[in-house]
Amino acid sequence: MKKFQLYSIPIIVMFILFNCTQQKPAELEPDDKDRNMFGHYITRGLTKTTDSLTPGYVMFIPSNSASVYLLNRNGEVVHEWKGNYGTHSPYINDDGSITLMASDPDFPVFAGGGQMGRLQKISWESKILWDFEYATEEYHAHHDIAVMPNGNVLAIAWEAKTAEDVLKAGRNPEFIPKAGLWPSRIVEIEQLDKTHGKVVWEWHIWDHLIQDHDPEMDNYGDVAAHPELLDFNVSDSLPPVISQDSMDLLHALRKTRRNRTVENRGSDVYHLNAINYNAELDQIIFSSPALSEIFIIDHSTSTEEAASHSGGRMGKGGDFLFRWGNPQNYRQGDSTNQQSFGQHDVRWIEKGKPGAGNITFYNNDIPFIPDSLDYSAVYEIKPITDKDGNYLLMENNRFSPSEPEWKYIAPDTLSFYGGFVSGAHRMLNGNTFINEGPKGRFFEVTSQGEIVWEYLNQFRGNIHHPNGDPASPMPMTYMQFRSTFIPADHPGLKDRELVPLDPQPKVFKLPPKPEKK
């Protein structure tokens, strides 16, 4: 199985492939079979609106920026939260502040997408209320957070395990980078003061592994009989070996991640990219695009119970309560049964919204259909549970459901494609708000798939590299990891003056496209 290779492809290769299929700007029409995944040289800003839209705003981060913008339905910026580092995954609080991740300027060891390292809270007036570093040589917060009702923050983080640690846990030595692996942990952090936080609960995927490679290890067992555990050898591929000279060149050209070495390529083994909390169930859902699976665990456990296989409301400790998308990971099916492909932004639909209790996610890179190319979709799934809330297996020993409850796919499949980042969530009116991330495209679709509003990000910040060099705008010029629809009646917007900023932020435009010779 070669699931992990997608996440080791250099961005430059993705850019080259994209440019091979890009069309001229004048030829770009909504119905064209365009693969301009990064949205270069196409019309940006507000491109579609309709009557009777739900009042509200869109919160997003201008690419390469330390700011967060709030955009009205006319495509005008009405508020800006200003941070001090590159920002990621903002969430608005009831007092108008935002909680988000920020890029730590000097974190060590870890290298991968979404490498942030700081948790921050910024007031409506852009005052830094909390700035907590969660980045050491042993662990590093990345990608996403979830803000709990009590104000605590759930964060996903890498944790470093040496090659020796990994071998002793039953990993096949052929799949161990020299630097070891970075499996994931989830931590709940309580704010103590402006710069400190306390971990009050934690869960480690390391405690819930099974393997059938080394019978001498304690976690040896029948993988197919234990879907509540993760097969430690399921991500069984490493990137091709490269020389130190090649790595040095990639760093010089800024075509690889900070802290990337020839020895840690492949260490980001599960690459968790999204987390969401359900207070009513006291459960956590998270996404692993490397495994093409989503997982649910019980948060009602103590930290000690979370490291075990019993305890908590569901009685299963920190074991998986549910998993979906790729049953071949627990030996119940093959590639034809896989339904999730590098997904992002998994969320429960909140109470009061159509489909409440169901799960949505952005299915990034669904393999091609005949005479076509890979495409994206938004899925809504409805797991089957018993009267006690246990997630049930179907007769084929796979977690339910067998098919999505609802999905959005572009009618031509081709015009909606974001092969990485991206997201989606349900709105109160039953529509779904979608972020086609690489292109920086935000749009709202009805349950019938009709697009009723569309906007393409037209802003880009000016964050420089640590040595002062400017960051290249290519290829990810307008990219958006996450964007969120904020209803007009959100408590955080009460009594706020939400009029268009004057002047509006400066629109970023690429230099003219070079003419082909």
CB atoms < 10 A from the CB of 435, how many? 27
Distance CA 379, CA 435 (A): 13
pLDDT at 66: 96
Does residue 6 sit in helix, strand or coil?
helix
pLDDT at 177: 96
The pLDDT tens digits of the residues spanning 129-188 come to 999 999 999 999 999 999 999 999 999 999 999 999 999 999 999 999 999 999 999 999
pLDDT at 372: 74
Tokens of 483: 């964007």
Distance CA 120, CA 371 (A): 47
The pLDDT tens digits of the residues spanning 310-347 come to 999 999 999 999 999 999 999 999 999 999 999 999 99
pLDDT at 517: 67
Q: Which residues of 107-144 are buried (b: 16+ CB within 10 A; e: fewer)?
A: bebbbbbbbbbbbbbbebebeeebbbbbbeeebbbbbb
CB atoms < 10 A from the CB of 184, how many? 22
pLDDT at 2: 39
pLDDT at 469: 85
pLDDT at 454: 98
Cβ atoms 121, 278 nearer than 8 A: no
Rounded to two decimals, what is the model's pTM?
0.92
pLDDT at 105: 86
Does residue 207 sit in helix, strand or coil?
helix
pLDDT at 16: 34
Cβ atoms 183, 270 nearer than 8 A: yes
The pLDDT tens digits of the residues spanning 440-467 come to 999 999 999 999 999 999 999 998 887 7
In this structure, what is the dihedral angle of CA atoms 246, 249, 250, 254, given to the nearest 10 degrees? 170
Mean pLDDT, the chain, integer? 91
CB atoms < 10 A from the CB of 467, how many? 5
Q: Which residues of 402-416 are buried (b: 16+ CB within 10 A; e: fewer)?
A: eebebbbebeebbbb
- Report, as ranges of residue numbers, the positions in the chain whose pLDDT lies below 50: 1-33
pLDDT at 467: 79
Which structural domains are found in the chain, ordered by start? 3-31+50-153+163-244+251-264+272-493 (2.120.10.30)
pLDDT at 21: 34
Nearest to 256 by CA among 135, 471, 111: 111
Distance CA 148, CA 93 (A): 10
